[in-house]
């Protein structure tokens, strides 16, 4: 049958549950000062000092080889740390992208020199990355990218503009996706990836404030920026293939259904134990969805462990997961008698406001709902 | 996955794939019990899947039994396989069961049945609503309390008054009125793990697996149709609007199958209630969304008696309600979560 099935996830072990207890004990102390409103930022919340503490515990670069500063633990152990961090609303945003996808890409496609230079620093929590993919005329249509790296003596000269670049103003490096060769018949050919030091002359970073007046996004303009040949990641012209693998990492994790978990916690807290049955039904349904998604997402951790390609499975988890995150807002709105107010002292009311204002991004960032549905359709053999 | 599991799956795929022809499904809808198919299921050892070997059963692991059940549902096998498995689990080694299809009571909520000691043995009274395949069963295995203890009674439906009913797929769902004098040997104490809650949970785990199987097939049929049906000069599967609907059907089918796996594991793990509750709630929702997309994609032809699709969608619409619908199981989860409190919400999700 043409089915997209999720194999049973690897079972919990003594190692995973010992680790879980360690993470919880750590979070009890480290997050004690955080308000629900701060926790609701989920993996958009940045705290480099917190990232450093996680690194000291060995919780960054968990699955990477020890020779590059990693800890050679299983994908499931890494999953335990991620889900515990997200469920607690830990401020993991500073290192999130580097740990989730930049270092794994460097380990897969990088030169020995790149691996030795970047990966240990990422594992130590000293280097943070951002992703240079979207452009003014290239959003979902990544192949329409226009930023161009032209070969010059000793390297490349880059011109172009990236937008919606989360964290460009605080990241140390960017993995830049751009055109290196003329457009060929192959729409996906002629693009490459580079590792770019954000201090390189010729980069101009400007904030783009979101509708909450928060500064996560940036516009990044490259004007005759020189990159040495050593900045190339992987083979010239292989950018499309490389970036597709990177996106699977970006889409498969618990960050795609747990980023509103603080809202659910505060909803339960607001309603209390004696809330009526209709509310319990509505909330119980959400928990049922979360339990199923968690199983599917852990199944993908098993696929990663076995070296399988989870791209289509990841698309399913992200689409179902972000839909649930968005629906959660609507469900809680209807059963809790309160109006959203981001400045309120009431934690539920403040978290609700935050979540409503960020919910539209859930089904945009990391691949839009429409792109994901197209990927699933391709997985079904329809395209 | 063990070698036994693979063997059982392969055997079930072949058995149900060959046997569940359209003529069989149509005849069953017209009220004819499919004795030939049932014989094959019995010969393959699936009817006695959850009976111990000492009682003539095949004593399969619960996950393997549910895997075979899911496959039977993927062919809409119109027989009480789930119910016979449940009856075997109820009877276990304490009561011998007759050859032939079996069923269980109670299968739905209602006033409890009363079971009392009598001079000659036992007396059972009460009404069990919507008992699956009661009219076809060689015995009904009844769970009832006597003096605070869980007891299992073996009852011949011929000594009961049956009011025939059907679910949307025309599977028998009969109201059974018990006013029966039973022999001393017809009643035995239930095994330790058997009580009203675990019986309902196991029934829900079974229906979750059946929904997963039927939804997988509905997806398969729908993909095939969308690839073949030409409109505006191309197969409708080439239209983006259709592709996106099919993607969601596939996503819900995948979620239902993952949830059904979760239910099977939980059933094998002391009938762990919360994962089964979550699975039945999730599968029920997937059934609703999935059946809707399957019909939308098929257009009018899928709405006809002639087409195969309805054998699956009518089962999906029925099974989502049986052994507790989404709201029933969501309430159980919601109650547990509200009682545990927000601080324990996450750890309970992880532990469940």
Asked whether residue A291 is domain-assigned, the answer is yes
A3 — pLDDT class (breaks 50, 70, 90): low
Question: What pLDDT was estimated at residue B329?
Answer: 98
Q: In Å, how far from its chain's centre is CA B143?
A: 17
Dump strand ranges (E) for B156-308: 161-163, 173-183, 187-189, 230-231, 234-235
B299 — pLDDT class (breaks 50, 70, 90): very high
Asked whether residue A8 is domain-assigned, the answer is no
Q: Which domain holds residue B47?
A: 3-189
> Across residues B104-130, what is the average pLDDT?
96
Q: A171, A203, A238 — which closes off a domain?
A: A238
> Across residues B217-229, what is the average pLDDT?
98
Beta bridge partners of A307: none
Question: What pLDDT was estimated at residue B18?
Answer: 96
Cβ atoms of residues A225 and A155 within 8 Å = no
Residues A364 and A284 in one domain: yes
Residue A101 DSSP one-character state: I
Burial B248-279 (b: 16+ CB within 10 A, else e): bbbbbbbbbbbbbbbbbbbbbeebbbbbbbbb
Residues B341 and B238 in one domain: yes
- For B326, nearest residue in chain A (alpha carbons): A285
Output the DSSP codes for A112-139.
HHHHHHHHHHHHTT---EEEE--BTTBS
Residues A234 and A246 in one domain: no
Question: What pLDDT was estimated at residue A363?
Answer: 95
Q: Decide if pLDDT at A276 tops 70.
A: yes
Q: Decide if pLDDT at A185 tops 80.
A: no
User: Considering chain B, what is the average pLDDT of its residues?
Assistant: 97
> Across residues A123-151, what is the average pLDDT?
96
CB contact under 8 A, B226 and A289: no
Strands A191-197 and A232-233: antiparallel
Residues B156 and B252 in one domain: no
Convert the pLDDT of each residue in B32-46 to its tens digit: 999 999 999 999 999
Beta bridge partners of B54: none
Residues B31 and B93 in one domain: yes
Least confident of B52-56, B129-133, B149-153: B52-56
Q: A94, A128, A162 — which closes off a domain?
A: A128
Least confident of A192-196, A222-226, B110-114: B110-114
Which B positions 284-343 lie with beta carbon below 8 A of chain A? 285, 326-327, 329-335, 337-339, 341-343
Q: Which residue has the tokens 């498969």?
A: A252
Q: B161, B189, B217 — which closes off a domain?
A: B189
3-state secondary structure of B1: coil
Q: Closest by alpha carbon to A379, among A298, A315, A330, A308?
A: A315
Whole-number Å distance between alpha carbons of B17 and B172: 23
**Total number of domains constituting chain A:** 3
CB contact under 8 A, A284 and B281: yes
Question: What pLDDT was estimated at residue A1?
Answer: 44
Residues B179 and B201 in one domain: no
Q: Decide if pLDDT at A325 tops 90.
A: yes
Question: What pLDDT was estimated at residue A272?
Answer: 93
Question: What pLDDT was estimated at residue A2?
Answer: 57
List the structure tokens of A214: 């928060």
User: Considering chain A, what is the average pLDDT of its residues?
Assistant: 95
Convert the pLDDT of each residue in A304-322 to its tens digit: 889 898 999 999 999 999 9
Whole-number Å distance between alpha carbons of A43 and A90: 7
Whole-number Å distance between alpha carbons of A228 and A378: 38
Whole-number Å distance between alpha carbons of A83 and B120: 61
Residues of chain B found within 8 Å of residue A279, distances taken between Cβ atoms: 334
Using CA atoms, how far residue A122 sits from A53, A91, A127, B240, in Å, is 13, 17, 5, 41
Q: A80, A111, A128 — which closes off a domain?
A: A128
Residues B245 and B286 in one domain: yes
Residues A181 and A107 in one domain: no
B1 — pLDDT class (breaks 50, 70, 90): low
Q: Which domain holds residue A167?
A: 131-238
Which of A340 and A188 is assigned the larger pLDDT? A340
List the structure tokens of A163: 């937008």
A230 Ramachandran zone, left/alpha/beta (phi>0; psi -120 to 50): alpha
Asked whether residue A306 is domain-assigned, the answer is yes
Residues of chain B found within 8 Å of residue A268, distances taken between Cβ atoms: 337-338, 341-342, 345
CB contact under 8 A, A1 and B352: no
**Total number of domains constituting chain B:** 2
Question: What pLDDT was estimated at residue B4?
Answer: 87
Convert the pLDDT of each residue in A79-108 to its tens digit: 999 999 999 999 999 999 999 999 999 999
The CATH number linked to B128 is: 2.40.110.10
Q: Closest by alpha carbon to A202, among A154, A147, A257?
A: A147
Q: How many CB atoms lie within 10 A of CB B347?
A: 14
Convert the pLDDT of each residue in A212-271 to its tens digit: 999 999 999 999 999 999 999 999 999 999 998 888 777 878 999 999 999 999 999 999
Residues A160 and A205 in one domain: yes
Cβ atoms of residues A351 and A266 within 8 Å = yes
């Amino acid at each position: 049958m043409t089915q997209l099935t999720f194999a049973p996830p690897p079972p919990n072990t003594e190692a995973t549950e010992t680790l879980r207890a360690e993470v919880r004990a750590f979070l009890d102390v480290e997050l004690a000062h955080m308000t629900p409103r701060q926790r609701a930022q989920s993996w958009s919340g940045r705290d480099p000092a917190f990232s450093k503490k996680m690194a000291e515990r060995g919780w960054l670069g968990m699955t990477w080889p020890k020779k590059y500063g990693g800890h050679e633990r299983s994908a499931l152990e890494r999953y335990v740390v991620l889900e515990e961090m997200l469920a607690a609303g830990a401020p993991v945003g500073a290192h999130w992208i580097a740990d989730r996808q930049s270092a794994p890409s460097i380990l897969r496609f990088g030169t020995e020199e790149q691996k030795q230079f970047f990966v240990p620093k990422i594992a130590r929590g000293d280097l943070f990355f951002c992703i240079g993919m979207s452009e003014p005329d290239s959003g979902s249509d990544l192949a329409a990218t226009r930023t161009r790296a032209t070969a010059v003596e000793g390297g490349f000269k880059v011109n172009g503009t990236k937008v919606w670049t989360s964290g460009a103003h605080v990241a140390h490096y960017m993995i830049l996706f751009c055109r290196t060769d003329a457009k060929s018949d192959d729409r996906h050919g002629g693009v490459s990836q580079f590792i770019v030091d954000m201090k390189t002359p010729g980069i101009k970073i400007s904030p783009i404030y979101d509708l909450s007046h928060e500064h996560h996004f940036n516009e990044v303009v490259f004007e005759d920026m020189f990159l040495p040949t050593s900045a190339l990641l992987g083979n010239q012209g292989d950018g499309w293939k490389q970036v597709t693998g990177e996106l699977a990492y970006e889409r498969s994790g618990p960050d795609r259904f747990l980023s509103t978990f603080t809202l659910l916690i505060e909803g339960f807290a607001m309603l209390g134990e004696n809330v009526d049955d209709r509310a319990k039904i509505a909330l119980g349904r959400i928990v049922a969805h979360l339990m199923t998604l968690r199983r599917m997402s852990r199944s993908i951790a098993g696929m990663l462990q076995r070296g399988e390609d989870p791209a289509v499975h990841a698309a399913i988890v992200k689409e179902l997961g972000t839909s649930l995150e968005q629906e959660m807002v609507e469900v809680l709105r209807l059963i809790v008698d309160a109006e959203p107010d981001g400045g309120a002292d009431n934690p539920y009311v403040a978290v609700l406001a935050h979540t409503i204002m960020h919910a539209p991004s859930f089904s945009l960032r990391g691949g839009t709902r429409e792109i994901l549905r197209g990927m699933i359709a391709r997985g079904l053999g329809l395209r | 996955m063990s070698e036994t599991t693979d063997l059982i799956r392969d055997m079930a795929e072949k058995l149900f794939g060959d046997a569940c022809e359209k003529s069989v499904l149509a005849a069953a809808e017209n009220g004819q019990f499919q004795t030939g198919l049932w014989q094959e299921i019995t010969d393959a050892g699936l009817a006695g899947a959850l009976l111990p070997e000492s009682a003539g059963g095949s004593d399969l692991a619960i996950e393997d039994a549910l895997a075979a059940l899911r496959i039977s549902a993927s062919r809409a096998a119109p027989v009480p396989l789930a119910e016979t498995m449940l009856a075997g689990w109820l009877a276990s080694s304490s009561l011998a069961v007759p050859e032939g299809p079996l069923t269980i009571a109670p299968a739905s909520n209602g006033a409890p049945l009363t079971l009392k000691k009598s001079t000659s043995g036992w007396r059972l009274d009460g009404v069990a609503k919507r008992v699956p395949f009661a009219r076809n069963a060689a015995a009904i295995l009844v769970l009832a309390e006597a003096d605070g203890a869980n007891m299992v009674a073996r009852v011949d439906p011929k000594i009961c008054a049956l009011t025939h009913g059907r679910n949307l797929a025309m599977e028998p769902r009969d109201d059974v009125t018990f006013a029966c004098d039973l022999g001393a040997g017809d009643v035995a104490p239930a095994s330790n793990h058997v009580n009203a809650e675990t019986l309902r949970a196991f029934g829900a785990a079974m229906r979750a697996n059946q929904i997963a199987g039927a939804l997988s097939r509905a997806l398969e049929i729908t993909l095939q149709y969308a690839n073949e049906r030409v409109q505006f000069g191309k197969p409708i599967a080439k239209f983006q609007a259709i592709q996106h609907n099919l993607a969601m059907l596939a996503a819900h089918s995948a979620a239902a199958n993952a949830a059904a796996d979760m239910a099977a594991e939980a059933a094998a793990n002391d009938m762990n209630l919360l994962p089964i509750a979550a699975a039945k709630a999730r599968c029920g929702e997937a059934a609703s969304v999935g059946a809707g997309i399957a019909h939308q994609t098929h257009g009018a032809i899928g709405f006809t008696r002639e087409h195969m699709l309805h054998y699956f969608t009518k089962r999906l619409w029925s099974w989502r309600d049986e052994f507790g619908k989404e709201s029933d199981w969501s309430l159980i989860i919601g109650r547990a979560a509200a009682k545990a409190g927000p601080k324990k919400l996450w750890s309970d999700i992880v532990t469940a």
